[in-house]
Amino acid sequence: MKRVLILGGTGDAVELANRAAEIPGIEVISSLAGRTQNPLNPGGVVRIGGFGGAAGLAHYLRDRQIHLLIDATHPFAAQITWNAAIAAKEVGIPHLMLIRPAWEKTTGDRWIEVENNAVAATVLPAQRIFLTIGRQELSVFAHRSDCWFLMRMIDPPAPDTRVPNGKILLERGPFELADERSLLQNYDIGAIVSKNSGGDATYAKIIAARELKIPIVMVQRPELPTGEVVTRIEAALNWIMSYLNCGG
């Protein structure tokens, strides 16, 4: 049996784990950070919680005799991605990153591309803002008292979080275009802040903003380590099969 550890937390990771578990000779373990209260759990073995940095992950890989490591975390989960690359190299096992393609600016998009949320907070106009960055960095925008924020996330922020002035929506995608268009219009949104997460689940807001000529402050992805990368689940499955077939 080949034991595969999938670092998850995304819909792609769930689908990959479910499909990989159907391959004869494969045991799949999915690891979730535990930041979401009701995560989408794949079938099979699931562990929840951190590893304690790269050293802790390397210890886990050795202790559980993991043969293959796949990082299918969110494109903005940079710390675990770097830890995975370091740990896999230290232990000497094959390591793959499954990274969904970023959204690309197209005709009609009014993007202001910025490096991170801190920069996004400085360039925002004094308007009603649709803030779609999750709950981890809300406090970065708390000083913008000249803005009103509609903040969408899956789980509520921690009790001690400095939350910007506005309203919180607790919702999980995928979102439909008609609903996103109505939301922007009903709340009279003047600008959007979004991470360039890629994928289809939340792309409807990008289309709606394009149609309504609403600017988007688009936070670019963090730098990630070099290594083997695929963008599709099928390619990740083929990568697993290549190690089964070669006996590696």
Which residue in the block uniquely carries the two structure tokens 């670019």?
220
Domain 111-219 sits in CATH at 3.40.50.1980
Cα separation of 48 and 185, whole Å? 39
Contact 138, 163 (CB under 8 A): yes
CATH H-level, domain 2-101+224-246: superfamily? NAD(P)-binding Rossmann-like Domain (3.40.50.720)
Residue 86 has pLDDT above 70, yes or no: yes
Kindly report which listed range (101-105, 131-135, 207-211, 240-244) carries the lowest average pLDDT score: 240-244
- Hey, what long-range contacts does 48-57 have (CB within 8 A, 24 or more apart)? 51/83, 53/83, 54/82, 54/83, 54/84, 54/86, 54/87, 54/90, 55/87, 57/83, 57/84, 57/87
**What per-residue confidence (pLDDT) applies to 37?**
58
Query: What are the residue boundaries of the structural domains of the chain, listed by start?
Result: 2-101+224-246, 111-219
Residue 196 has pLDDT above 80, yes or no: yes
Which residue in the block uniquely carries the two structure tokens 């689908």?
15
Give the model confidence (pLDDT) of 23-32 as tens digits: 998 999 999 8
Cα separation of 54 and 83, whole Å? 4
Residue 240 carries which side chain, given as an amino acid letter? I
> Taking residues 85-100, what's their average pLDDT?
97
**What per-residue confidence (pLDDT) applies to 107?**
96
Quickly state the pLDDT bin for 167 (edges 50, 70, 90): very high
Give the model confidence (pLDDT) of 53-65 as tens digits: 999 999 999 999 9
Supply the mean pLDDT for the chain. Answer: 93
Residue 244 has pLDDT above 90, yes or no: no
Burial of 19 (0-12, 13-18, 19+ CB in 10 A): middle
Residue 195 has pLDDT above 80, yes or no: yes
Considering only CA atoms, which of 47, 39, 63, 37 is closest in space to residue 6? 47
DSSP conformation letters of 18-35: HHHTTSTTEEEEEEE-S-
